[in-house]
Structure formats: structure tokens, C-alpha cells
Amino acid sequence: MTRPLIVKPLPLPIPPNSLVAVDRAVAEIRRGGLVVVEAEDGTAALAMAAEAATNEGLARLARAAGTTPVVALTGRRAAVLGLAAEEHPVAVIGSNGPLTADQVERLADPLRAGRPEVGLTAAAGAPPPWAVATVALIKLARLLPAAVVAPTTGRHEDLFHVSADDVLAYPPLSAHSLRRVAEARVPLIDAEDSRIVAFRPADGGVGHLAIIVGQPDRDTPVLTRLHSECFTGDLLGSLRCDCGDQLRGAIAELSRVGSGVLLYLAQEGRGIGLVNKLRAYDLQDDGFDTLDANQQLGFDDDERVYLPAAEMLRLMGIRQVRLLTNNPAKVEGLARHGIEVTERVPHVFPSNGHNEEYLKTKATRGGHLF
């Protein structure tokens, strides 16, 4: 007997205080404010996004903390700059004198011509917990992954405080808190029998969508596509990538075979966000390939996580999938989170005259199978 998917919107649970705290800290960081990041070992630091650094802001940070600010960069960015080996996920860079906004900008932004060569040193050894958590917080804010931080022992009751452990635990906790909050029938050009289900985490943060075509049978492996949102490709028809072709092609294929699910994940630019993706495009125009451009910015080759996708599938009663993908990392990512991938179904589209190098890089360096 066929058991179709039953997708019933559920009320969101009361969010854990840790999720709400991180969400508030992200908002504060995005608007250029200061936050206090507290580590479990009792140490703490005042932090601000490197993107927001001005000379006035740096002076305010130093006065409030009572210590000399430093810059926390990802290990990748520090290695690109030649300031440290990529030994740790985060490198702490100090200056012989007070940091200037110009120094901070050159450290954080590869699109800024040149970099400060004199008076910068990388701290030896593993970075303090508050530095690691602050860079993670900046990534959650989808900003350039660099922060200005200053150790502090003050109370700072006028500033927002967030736990380093809560920041680092946010991605899995947010994914586990996902709930179905809305559903509607939405006929599509290539799949008239389709509906869209919205999923949202308990803190009200970034949500994801599922496009369900037909009536998938959850007792058999469901043909499934994980698609990371791409504003430029999906909405504008950009020729720099193959995302639009993959999105529309997947929906058409689900309709052709009769049923399936496409998860539309809010992970623009392999998880670095739209603004940083545009920065990466600018770097690609200067000769970097798509992976090297991410590294120049300080990101990993691919910052996406697939726990949210696994949670969405579980909430829809799907435990086995036939995965429509060329990316083995997606197969591994779902399997790691308890979803069985019984088959990888190729999903290939021809190049268009603008994305040959992009597709070549995905194959030769990204491990995609074509």
C-alpha cells in the first residue's frame, strides 16, 4: 500500500535561549555594533565585524575593552596573506601600534588593493575560544569572515553578551529545531501537481523550502534534489553558473518520473551568502577559479551543511532517497545525518559559453562527477 507524504504544519516550539541569543548577536554584528563573546574558561572579548571597522569604532572598542584590539581571521585568509600557516581554523593578527581601519580592511578584504606589510604578527599557538567563536559568528552574519576583537574583563552591561559555546552550537541546534510552518499547492510550469512546504527554525531565523511534486511514496526511495538557493542563477538566469538549469531541470525530472522532492536550501554561494558570492565573482574576473576565490575571501571551498536537509526529509517521513546530484559530498552529507542514499542519479547540463571554467573546476577540484 502506498503511503503518501503527510505534511502538516506544526507550531514552533519555544526556542532555546541559546538560539535567540546567537540570533540577536548576529543582528548586532550585522549593524556594526559591539558584542561580548564569553568563553567557558572565563575569558571574554569585545568583538565587531571587520567590515564595520572605522578609526572611531576601533578607538571606542579599545577604550571599552581596556586592551589592544587584534584581528581574528580564518586560517585560510591568514595563509593567503602569508601571515600564518593554515594550522588552525582561526589566526589572531596583532599590530605593533594601534590598528587602523585601513589595516583592518586590507586584512579582511581581498578586493582592497595591497595589504599592510609592516608591523603585523600572528599569535603563536591555538587561538582563544572567543576568537574562534567570533569568526563563526561573523560567518553566520554572512559578512567577510574577519573580526576585530579585544580581550576584556569588564562587565559591559550596556552591550549584548553571547556564549562562545552557543555560537559554535548554533548550526546543528538550529537545524534540529526546524518545523513545518506552512504549505500550499503551487502549480509550476514544469510540474503542475506540486506544493511547497516552508520550514523555519525555532528562533525564527533563516528558513528552507521543500517543493513536493506528485505524491511521493515514503516506503520507497524518493527521488530527491538538494538545491542551494542562487539568486543570480535561479531568478536572473545568470550564465556564470548552472544553477538555474539544475533547478528547472530537477523540477521537470521529478514531474517526468511522477513524483519527488526538491529541497530549496538557504545556502547561497555554497554557504557564504549573496554579497560574498558577488565578491568571489569579482575575484574570478581577476583570474581566480571559483574555489580559490572563496579561499581568498577566507572561506572554505564549500561552507554548506546538510543537517537541515536531513531534518526536513525526516519531518516529511523520508528515510531513503535516490539523490539527483553530481556532488558526492551531498551523498556523504545526507548519509552522515541518517538519510540513506540508495542511488546517485546524475544531473548534468551542457555549458553555455560563460561557465566552462566553472564547470571544469567543479569537476577537477571539487570532485563533481560529470
Cite the active site residues. Answer: 302, 304
φ, ψ of residue 191 in degrees (nearest 5): -155, 85
Cα–Cα distance measured from residue 111 to residue 179, given in angstroms and rounded to the nearest whole number: 39
Cα–Cα distance measured from residue 77 to residue 83, given in angstroms and rounded to the nearest whole number: 9
Cα–Cα distance measured from residue 136 to residue 282, given in angstroms and rounded to the nearest whole number: 24
Cα–Cα distance measured from residue 35 to residue 140, given in angstroms and rounded to the nearest whole number: 14
Sign, CA torsion 175/165/33/267: negative
Do 64 and 155 contact (CB within 8 A), yes or no? no
Q: Which of 44, 236, 259, 192 is nearest to 131 (CA)?
A: 44
Adjacent-strand bridge partners of 161? 36
Q: What is the CA radius of gyration of the chain?
A: 22
Q: Which of 143, 171, 149, 147 is nearest to 297 (CA)?
A: 143
